[in-house]
Amino acid sequence: MVSPAENSSATQSPPGDIVHAMRDDGSLSAEHDPGLSTQQVVDLYRHMVRTRIIDERLVTLQRQGRIGFHIGSLGEEAAIIGSSFAMGEQDWIFPCYREFGGALMRGFKLQSFIDNMFGNANDAAKGRQMPDHYTCREARWGSISSPIGTQMTQAVGFAWAAKIQKKSLACLVYFGDGSTSSAEFHNAMNFAGVFKTPSVFFCRNNGWAISVPVERQTASDTFAEKGVAYGVPSVRVDGNDLFAVIAVTRAAVQRARDGGGPTLIEALTYRMGGHSTSDDPNRYRARDELEPWVERDPIERVRRHLQAKGAWSDDQEEALRTEVDGQFREAVANAEKTPPPSLASMFEDVYAEQPWHLKEQCQQLLSGARAPKAH
């Protein structure tokens, strides 16, 4: 069966250029089988389902007016979970903003994530960022910022420092197809290619940059081929194939650690929802465009694989969904009981030692009149 990715206007090179591991019957090809144990596949499947459930619940919270914003990963779970799984504990990841599932898998606490969604006093960003803009040093997960592509140069700089310090690690940076039009993409790719930094550029080609389709984003046949100009080896992979994503990311990470320099991965997937909860894709996308991608839902593909091996049942599915729903409800209840950040916190983390003028401004703020609570 030919995948929708191979029929899209953004992928005009021969289908053989796209790495696949899963066959139509759920079995794996020997060439790109990453050699996972059945338990590892079960664990990864659980992370993928958990990610989707949390996505759906957060959209509901936003529609209820309980949080202000969410940007999800519906349909892109294999690309995110698979690539994050392929990274070692010592490696660093610089996210875009859809990859919370990978952060949770690497140790980011669900409660910390939900606290960020509410911007309360326990939010690591202290309410200064919009929802879905978090960080977790313990998980070696960089902070998220909204400007397009800035994480790419940050990731390359971090990787260059690691190379100078002779540390055996790789840095993976996530970005969407729209970010390839930014100056940061050029700067990061060029620097990484020249200095052979241990970088893995992971482009989630999900078909859309908000409402801009890929055919209006680039004149090149693929995004992967952009690596040629920078001397960066590139690979295209079925981003809805968990096993293929793990295989190509592992190879890129090993190459980076071995001193071989950067790799550009183009993961062909599809954004099955809107860009964010502020977006209505039905205004610019035909409804029937989703149909072939629903058939290649990455979660359903892994479920079929496990069921064919007798490793997953309907009872396990129901128990998993009940478990995740309970954890999510508890985290939300805790977040909603937590007060907002203190007013004084906006003056913190600016200087190591707070200068006199900030102390003065803080005191004026705290002693001044307060707006009505309903303001």
CATH 3.40.50.970 domain span(s) along the chain: 4-341
For tokens 């759920």, what's the residue?
26
From the list 236, 287, 244, 238, the residue with the least C-alpha distance to 2 is 238
Q: Look at residue 122 in the predicted model and tell me its pLDDT.
A: 96
Q: Look at residue 14 in the predicted model and tell me its pLDDT.
A: 39
Q: What's the CATH fold of domain 4-341?
A: Rossmann fold (3.40.50)
pLDDT tens for each residue of 323-338: 999 999 999 999 999 9
pTM for this predicted structure: 0.92
Q: Look at residue 373 in the predicted model and tell me its pLDDT.
A: 67
Q: Look at residue 146 in the predicted model and tell me its pLDDT.
A: 87
What are the distances in angstroms from CA 233 to CA 193, 218, 266? 9, 19, 11
**Which is catalytic among the residues 23, 128, 216, 284?**
284
Q: Look at residue 321 in the predicted model and tell me its pLDDT.
A: 98
275 is catalytic: yes
**Which is catalytic among the residues 275, 296, 301, 305?**
275
**Which is catalytic among the residues 32, 271, 296, 305?**
271
Q: Would you tell me how many other CB atoms lie within 10 Å of the CB of residue 94?
A: 27
Q: Look at residue 3 in the predicted model and tell me its pLDDT.
A: 43
Low-confidence ranges of the chain (pLDDT < 70): 1-16, 373-375
351 is catalytic: no
| CA pair distance 290, 287, nearest whole angstrom | 6
